[in-house]
Every structure is written in structure tokens, then in C-alpha cells.
Chains A and B, each alone.
Chain A
């Protein structure tokens, strides 16, 4: 039931945005993910909120794709895990909204104006992967110490000192 619903939502988004959708990953019982172009992120997010009722973000994940053998490249993927609490029909589903950014200069618009729940999650992705979220009200370090001067630790080029 959940997966049929997610399939319908993905098809609807693809129809509404056409070329702005770069791709999708739909694996039943595993993940439902829609990959959008950077420029269209805010519009797709607003569409998902207003039309489909995804009212909060459960988390924001950043993935450094540079060492991934299949489907990798010099990108950082930022994934928003969207959920719904107000709509009981949708409460059992998580939709992933993803955008691929340039590894050298990762910049994207913040979704704070649409979902205030992203505030601390976006700060964490900034902290751990160095992604700049434009329009975020207070983008600064959250988990690492303020004096951290090394490269962001969740990038693949960062090695834990003393291991490997």
C-alpha cells in the first residue's frame, strides 16, 4: 500500500516537473527517492508540501559520492527525508528528495522557508560536508568545535588519524 502510494507521488512529480527531474531510485521496501536539478529544488519541495502534504523533514543526509564505484562521481548528494504527521494516510511513508551538488563548490538553496524542521539538520550537513545552504537563517557549526580547521570530516578524503 505504502509503495503504491509513493509510486503515484513519484509519477505525479515527474509529470509536473518534466526535465527538472534528473532521475529516481525506486526499490520496493528499500527506498523511494527522486533526484532533482539544483535550480528546481525549492519548487519541487513546495509542490510536495502543498500538493502531497509532506509537512516535516525527518533528517537531512549528505553523501560524498566521489569514491562510490557505481553511480559515483565528483558530487555531494544532499537527501531530505520527508514525512507526514498530519496526514494519517501518508504517515507510513518516507519520500527522499535528493539533489546532486558539485564537490568543489557545493551550494544549494536552504529549504528552511518551506520546512522549519530542517534548521539543525542543514547545519549538521554544513558542518560535516561543507555544503553551503543559501538563505539559511543561522548557518554555523553545530557538532564540531568552532575552531575546526581541517576539511569537513565526512568527506571521503578525510582520514581518521591513526587508522589505515
Chain B
């Protein structure tokens, strides 16, 4: 048995025209994730996803830590999308405690969640681009992401993995002013990218103004992105009509997030099971029907625009008031019972199922991550594809190995 497994790691001839080889886990194109691929000539006849190389036992660890000390390690599966990982945890704990968070906390949560969504999507595009040979895409996305992360840092104190959310609200309030250095740096970047200086009206140290200026800048940059990547023949040739996921298959395999919406299903937890400030804001859920690698990328692109809208609305509508229920203690006790909570992370629906036995730590904590639910789609799409189509299929799904393995 063990010998059989070992054999699979190497390339070997299995008779006839077929060949089985291992794509990963050290391959730079997959992250720490392995695909066991069987090919006949250039065509993939079987692809078996083999996750687990970055399994950290988050669920077992959660049973040893208290309700509050669980927060920092639960966001590790997807560090750029810390908000998406922790909001559903806080929502579920709040359901068990039967509390409602203050209005201002709802807006602050929404604001950070959308900043994280943009940062996560930009990082996705940067990797998507570089594995299709587009190094400009990598550099642009990573560069622009910097100002989104700086903004996160100003509000939460940390660029990512900010442990900003606590059951009952958020850890600290947003500042009234941003620092001079940040404004100066952003002004310089703005003028280099867009060829003109922002006026005093557009950009100042005032927090609200600064946030709005960053979102407007991103909006203009997205027009550049469209011309450079998404409307670029080189990119389109690699991804259009590749890896088509039909609507029935998407539903049958239960895929979440951008992949689902690119296959013509209008489903987003922010609309279908609204939480935090989302029911009070106006935004669209982009849906496409093609279901190919291009549609999946475009959904992410359109989602960034919608996120920018949400950010602008939330800073403008944010009321004054408390940002958490009370000074949160380090040890809380959660009443007995079980609850299920969910939220829309950057990669799709994130679900927590928590059983509490009334002590200071969870009895059982189950996290269902969106990436794990993408595995059947990865296999389904690769069958019959060419070897050269594996990178676009893999990256268009926005699969993240650490998030899947937990």
C-alpha cells in the first residue's frame, strides 16, 4: 500500500500511451497542493486533487483555546481575507450568546470585510496573471494592494491578520484622521499613476475623505486593468472557453463564491442571508453565464467595483456611537447550545458550526471553508482539458490550499 503510494509521486509509464505524474506539492504553480494527473498525449484523462500538505488542525486547536484566543488562529487559513474567516465565527458566537452588536460596529465590520475582499482579489489576480506569463499583472496588483492594506493598518493596527473582530463588536474604533506621511505617500503614487495631483477637496487627512479618495483612485485604476488585462487578446486567448462549468454542474458539485456566480447562479450570502450592515447598503451581485475561466476572472473584477461602492457608502453612513458592547474580557462564557453561522468570504460562503457546553471554550468547532468545496469542481473541469489549461483552470477557481486544509 505504502509502496503503491510512493510510486505515484514519480513519473512512470503505466503502459499504453498514458502517463501519471504529480503536479505539486512543490510546484510553483499550485501552492502546497498536489494534483495527481494522468495524461494521454496532451489530454488530461484523470486528475485527483490531493490536499492536506498544509493541514494545521485548526478545528482540534479550537477546542483547547478560549473563545477569545481562538480569533487570531482562526484567521490564519487565509491571511489576506482575515475578515471573511472571522466574521462568521463572531456571528455564530453572538447567536449563541443572543446579543446584537452596535450599529457603528456593523459598519466598521463591513468596511474591513470589503477592504479584505479587495486585497484578496488583487492578490488572486496577481498570481493568476503571473502563471499565465503576465508579470505586469502581478506588479500592478501587488502595488495597488499596498494602499488598501495601509488603510486596513490605520483602522485595525495591522496590515492583515488583524484580529479586529471580537464577539460583540470590533476591537477598536476607526481613527478621525490619517497620518501626514500616508497622505503624502498616496499623493505621490496618485500623481505618478494618473498623471495629475489630487486636489485638496479630493484628498486630505480627514479619515472619510481619505477613504473615499482611495476608492476613487482604485476605480480609475480598474479602468486601466480592464484595458491592460481583461480586454487583452493575450489573456483572453488563454482563458476564454477554457474550463467551462455549466450551471447544473455548479449546483450539483455545490461550488461557492465567484465560481458559482460565473456559472449563472445568483447566490451571495451578503444578499441571501444578510448580516452586519449589508441589508442597509446598495450594491449589485455580478453574475455571468459563460462559466469559463474568463467569466470567473471578470466576476472578481466586477466584485472589486461593488466592494468600492460598499466602502464609500459605509464610511458615509457610519453613525457615531459605541463600537462594541462593552470592554471585552479575555475570558467569556458562552451559553450551552449549538448554532450555525455563515458569511461571504472573498472566495465564497464560509460556514461555522459550533457546539458549546457552557464553558470558556468551544466543545466542537467546525469550519467549512469555500476552497474545500472547490475540489470537486477542479477535478470536473480538468477532465478532458489540455495540460496547458491546468494553470488557468486552477487559478480561475481561486482555490487556496491553506484555506482548504485548515
Asked if residues B55 and A144 are in contact (CB atoms below 8 Å), the reply is: yes
Chain B residues, Cβ within 8 Å of A2: 273
Please report the C-alpha to C-alpha distance between residue A58 and residue B253 in the assembled complex, in whole angstroms: 10
Please report the C-alpha to C-alpha distance between residue A30 and residue B254 in the assembled complex, in whole angstroms: 23
Known A-B contacts A120-B372, A147-B2; the reply to A70 vs B357 at CB < 8 A is: yes
Interface of B is mostly: mixed
Is B52 close to A, CB under 8 A? yes
Is B339 close to A, CB under 8 A? yes
Asked if residues A30 and B339 are in contact (CB atoms below 8 Å), the reply is: yes
Asked if residues A31 and B339 are in contact (CB atoms below 8 Å), the reply is: yes
Is B364 close to A, CB under 8 A? yes
When C-beta atoms are compared, the residue in chain B nearest to A72 turns out to be B357
* A70, A120, A141 — most chain B CB neighbours (10 Å): A120
Asked if residues B376 and A117 are in contact (CB atoms below 8 Å), the reply is: yes
Chain A residues, Cβ within 8 Å of B95: 29-30
Chain B residues, Cβ within 8 Å of A46: none
Asked if residues B349 and A164 are in contact (CB atoms below 8 Å), the reply is: no
Chain B residues, Cβ within 8 Å of A24: none
When C-beta atoms are compared, the residue in chain A nearest to B359 turns out to be A69
* Contact residues, A31-89 vs B (CB, 8 A): 31, 33, 55-59, 61, 63-64, 67-70, 79, 81, 83, 85-86, 88
Please report the C-alpha to C-alpha distance between residue A27 and residue B341 in the assembled complex, in whole angstroms: 13
Asked if residues A59 and B253 are in contact (CB atoms below 8 Å), the reply is: no
Interface of A is mostly: loop
Chain A proximity of B373: nearest CB distance (Å):
7
Is A111 close to B, CB under 8 A? no
Chain A residues, Cβ within 8 Å of B336: 70
Please report the C-alpha to C-alpha distance between residue A146 and residue B61 in the assembled complex, in whole angstroms: 21
Is A18 close to B, CB under 8 A? no
Asked if residues B364 and A58 are in contact (CB atoms below 8 Å), the reply is: no
When C-beta atoms are compared, the residue in chain A nearest to B250 turns out to be A85
Chain B proximity of A33: nearest CB distance (Å):
8
Please report the C-alpha to C-alpha distance between residue A27 and residue B355 in the assembled complex, in whole angstroms: 13
Asked if residues A63 and B254 are in contact (CB atoms below 8 Å), the reply is: no
Asked if residues B368 and A81 are in contact (CB atoms below 8 Å), the reply is: yes
Chain A residues, Cβ within 8 Å of B64: 160, 163-164
Chain A proximity of B355: nearest CB distance (Å):
6
Per-residue CB contact flags for chain B residues 247-270 toward chain A (1 = under 8 Å, else 0) read 000111110000010000111000
Is A107 close to B, CB under 8 A? no
Asked if residues B355 and A63 are in contact (CB atoms below 8 Å), the reply is: yes
Is B342 close to A, CB under 8 A? yes
Asked if residues A94 and B340 are in contact (CB atoms below 8 Å), the reply is: yes
Please report the C-alpha to C-alpha distance between residue A115 and residue B368 in the assembled complex, in whole angstroms: 17
Asked if residues A27 and B52 are in contact (CB atoms below 8 Å), the reply is: no
CB-contact partner of A153 in B57, B251, B373, under 8 A: B57
Please report the C-alpha to C-alpha distance between residue A153 and residue B52 in the assembled complex, in whole angstroms: 14
Asked if residues B353 and A117 are in contact (CB atoms below 8 Å), the reply is: no
Is B337 close to A, CB under 8 A? yes
Per-residue CB contact flags for chain B residues 56-77 toward chain A (1 = under 8 Å, else 0) read 0101110010000000000000
Chain B proximity of A63: nearest CB distance (Å):
5
Please report the C-alpha to C-alpha distance between residue A54 and residue B258 in the assembled complex, in whole angstroms: 21
Task: Please report A residues at the B interface, Cβ cutoff 8 Å.
Answer: 2, 25, 27, 29-31, 33, 55-59, 61, 63-64, 67-70, 79, 81, 83, 85-86, 88, 91-92, 94, 96, 115-117, 119-121, 124, 128, 141-147, 153-154, 158, 160, 163-164
A-B contacts, 13 listed (Cβ < 8 Å): A30-B95, A30-B96, A56-B254, A59-B366, A61-B364, A69-B357, A81-B368, A83-B254, A91-B272, A117-B252, A142-B52, A145-B52, A160-B64
Known: A58-B349, A64-B364, A143-B406. 19 other contacts (CB 8 A): A25-B338, A27-B337, A30-B95, A31-B340, A56-B254, A59-B368, A61-B366, A63-B366, A68-B355, A69-B358, A70-B357, A83-B254, A86-B265, A92-B272, A94-B351, A142-B52, A144-B55, A160-B57, A160-B61
Task: Please report B residues at the A interface, Cβ cutoff 8 Å.
Answer: 2, 5, 51-52, 55, 57, 59-61, 64, 95-96, 250-254, 260, 265-267, 272-273, 336-340, 342, 349, 351, 353, 355, 357-358, 363-364, 366, 368, 372-373, 375-376, 405-406
Q: What 9 A-B pairs are tightest by C-beta distance, nearest first?
A: A117-B254, A56-B254, A59-B368, A143-B52, A30-B339, A61-B366, A143-B55, A85-B251, A92-B272
